[in-house]
Amino acid sequence: MKKIFLLICLTFLLSIQQANSASISDYIDKPYAGMAYSIALKQDIPFLLIFAEPSNAIVLLRLMPLVNMVYNDYKGLYNFCIINTSVEENNELVNYFAPKKLPALYLIDTQNMTYTLIESKYYNKNALNRILKEFKKETLITPQKQ
């Protein structure tokens, strides 16, 4: 059952990235999904940084509607990056943010170089949508050309 959930999540993630073909193990071994952290940090738009353990299918299922919403509804306003906490090359980043519980969502303001932890009670589409809209108003984000 867990493998089926993982397969569904990975298929969804891969379709977002428009990947050609990949197996489950290809994703699990990757350090991130979405935009690379180092690239997202250099962009002029904020991004949602998500720390997750990809072997936990329930976590991936919980994140997919949020990732889909950010990707579809906020394209050009927000980027997203899902960090695989089980990959060794991410240890420095994981230690810097030190998420207490996974998944952990952070809103990164690239213009002011600050970040905000989004509490787990807001890990639903409606609440996150309100947070992103409010942040957009406060920072006067303008859409970027893709």
Residue with tokens 């990757």: 30
Q: In the Cβ-directed half-sphere of 11, how many Cα atoms lie within 13 Å?
A: 6
Q: What is the DSSP track for 87-136?
A: SGGGHHHHHHH--SSSSEEEEEETTTTEEEEEPGGG-SHHHHHHHHHHHH
CATH number of 2-139: 3.40.30.10
Residue 10: CB partners within 8 Å, gap ≥ 6? Answer: 22, 24, 27, 60
Structure tokens at 88: 């060794």
Interval 109-129: pLDDT, tens: 998 999 999 998 988 889 999
How many Cα atoms within 13 Å fall on the side-chain side of residue 114? 4
Under 8 Å between Cβ of 106 and 94: no
Tell me: the pLDDT tens digits for 67-120? 888 888 888 899 888 888 988 999 999 999 999 988 899 999 998 999 999 998
pTM for this predicted structure: 0.73
